[in-house]
Chains A and B, each alone.
Chain A
Amino acid sequence: MKRHLISAGDLTRDDALLVLDTAEELARVSERSIKKLPTLRGRTVVNLFYEDSTRTRISFEAAAKRLSADVINFSAKGSSVSKGESLKDTALTLEAMGADAVVIRHAASGAPHRLANWVRGSVVNAGDGTHEHPTQALLDAFSMRRRMGRVEGLKVAIVGDVLHSRVARSNVLLLHALGAEVTLVAPPTLLPVAVDTWPCQVSYDLDAVLPKSDVVMMLRVQLERMNAAYFPSAREYSRRYGLDRERFARLHDDAIVMHPGPMNRGMEISAEVADSPRSTIVEQVANGVTVRMAVLYLLLSGSEPAIGGDL
Chain B
Amino acid sequence: MSDARNQARAVLEGPDIHRALTRIAHEILERTKGAEKVVLLGIPTRGATLAFRIAERISQFEGVKVPVGTIDITMYRDDLRLRPARPLGRTDLPAEGVDGRTVVLVDDVLFSGRTVRAALDALNDVGRPRAVQLATLVDRGHRELPIRADYVGKNLPTSKSEKVKVYLEEIDGRDAVLLIKGDDRPDAGETNGER
Contact = CB atoms under 8 A, between A and B. Distances in A.
Interface residues of A, number: 24
Consensus secondary structure, chain A interface: loop
B5 to A, nearest CB: 27
A290 B84 CA distance: 20
A34 B126 contact: yes
A34 B85 contact: no
A302 B75 contact: no
Interface stretch (B34-42, B87-95, B174-182): B87-95
A38 B78 CA distance: 10
Contacts of A270: none
Contacts of B88: 21-22, 25-26
B83 interface: yes
Contact of A38 (B75, B85, B90): B75
Nearest to A67: B75
A301 B80 contact: yes
A234 to B, nearest CB: 46
A60 interface: no
Nearest to A17: B87
Nearest to B121: A38
Interface in A20-47: 21-22, 25-26, 28-29, 32, 34, 36-39
A28 B85 contact: no
**Contact-size category for B:** 10 to 19
A22 B84 contact: no
A300 B92 CA distance: 25
A304 B121 CA distance: 24
Consensus secondary structure, chain B interface: loop
B76 A38 contact: yes
A54 interface: no
A36 B125 contact: yes
Contact of B81 (A34, A298, A302): A302
Contacts of B82: 303
Nearest to B82: A303
A211 interface: no
B48 to A, nearest CB: 13
A18 interface: yes
Contact of B85 (A21, A36, A37, A297): A297
Given A21-B87, A22-B87, A303 B81 contact: yes
Nearest to B118: A38
Interface of B: 72, 75-76, 80-92, 121, 125-126
Given A21-B88, A306-B86, 14 more contacts: A21-B87, A22-B87, A32-B126, A36-B125, A37-B76, A38-B75, A39-B75, A39-B76, A39-B80, A301-B85, A302-B84, A302-B86, A306-B84, A306-B85
